[in-house]
Amino acid sequence: MAFGSLLQLTQISEAGSRCSSKWQLVGIVIQFRLVLLLVMAISCHFIPDHNPGDDVLRFDMRLLNNNEDNCFCFKGHLCERLGNESSGSCAIATVKTFIPSPIWHFFLAPLTKWDAARFLNLALDPTLRDPKCFIATQCNFDASEEAHAFFPLFPNIVGQLSVFVVNVAPSALLPPTFEALLTLCGFLFNMTCLVAATLCLFHLTVSILPTGMEPEQQRHIAMTTCL
């Protein structure tokens, strides 16, 4: 009876240590990603952008000219489904935000480059995946890069997540444009996927290690593998 109780206490202690190691690992991963974002923002601010040509798709968050259009979300964007339509081409009028637009632009601009611009544009308007029809009855699917290279799951998740955030989060904490909110939600969703993948890798590493290995050594190897 005493031996069984001791064994049970040992297992509980090992489980607690393993759980503590997982949360420590998650904290390290999140801190690393935030530091990486800060480094990207600083380098993007001080190093001039490479000009890949006019044919490369860009994504405009409208953060630096928000005062001119005074519109959080245009009609035709996902957030027009909220039903709060205002006059003109605006689906939702701009609301006052706690964080100024230049700060949002400083941190979010690096997340809109290259392929990210494709995904964000598809999240903003899913119909961009549809190829242009040169003839009324025939569409050139071969000429539609988005229809083949950029699948719709990730853009749709980011778009619907952005609409959900608009509904539940205080508007003062959100970026002043829907395009910027899409960028922020894309970053947060990627962060969530990174944390989930890290935890899965941690459990997988622990499960394939030899059973006779010390628990502390197992946790050290698993954390080193994940990092």
pLDDT tens-digit readout, 41-52: 999 888 887 777
Q: What is the pLDDT of residue 8?
A: 47
Strands (E), the chain: 71-74, 90-93, 133-135, 138-139
> Higher model confidence: residue 5 or residue 196?
196
End-to-end CA distance of the chain: 41
Question: Which CA distances in Å does 161 have to 25, 86, 151, 209?
Answer: 26, 22, 17, 38
pLDDT tens-digit readout, 178-190: 999 999 999 999 9
Residue length of the chain = 227
* pLDDT above 90: percentage of residues in the chain: 21
Range in 42-51, 53-62, 83-92 the model is least confident about: 83-92
Question: Which CA distances in Å does 77 have to 71, 92, 128, 160, 177?
Answer: 12, 10, 12, 11, 11
Q: Which of 49-53, 83-87, 220-224 has the highest mean pLDDT?
A: 49-53
Q: What is the pLDDT of residue 158?
A: 94
How confident is the model over 77-91, as a mean pLDDT?
70
Q: What is the pLDDT of residue 223?
A: 63
> Higher model confidence: residue 115 or residue 67?
115
How confident is the model over 143-170, as a mean pLDDT?
81
Q: What is the pLDDT of residue 12?
A: 47
C-alpha 167/C-alpha 75 separation (Å) is 17
> Higher model confidence: residue 190 or residue 9?
190
pLDDT tens-digit readout, 91-136: 888 777 888 888 999 999 999 988 888 889 888 887 777 666 655 5
As a whole number, the mean pLDDT across the chain is 77
How confident is the model over 83-94, as a mean pLDDT?
70
Q: What is the pLDDT of residue 10?
A: 45
pLDDT band at 13 (very low <50, low <70, confident <90, very high): very low
pLDDT band at 11 (very low <50, low <70, confident <90, very high): very low
C-alpha 69/C-alpha 77 separation (Å) is 15
Range in 121-130, 150-159, 191-200, 206-215 the model is least confident about: 206-215
Q: What is the pLDDT of residue 6?
A: 41
How confident is the model over 169-196, as a mean pLDDT?
91
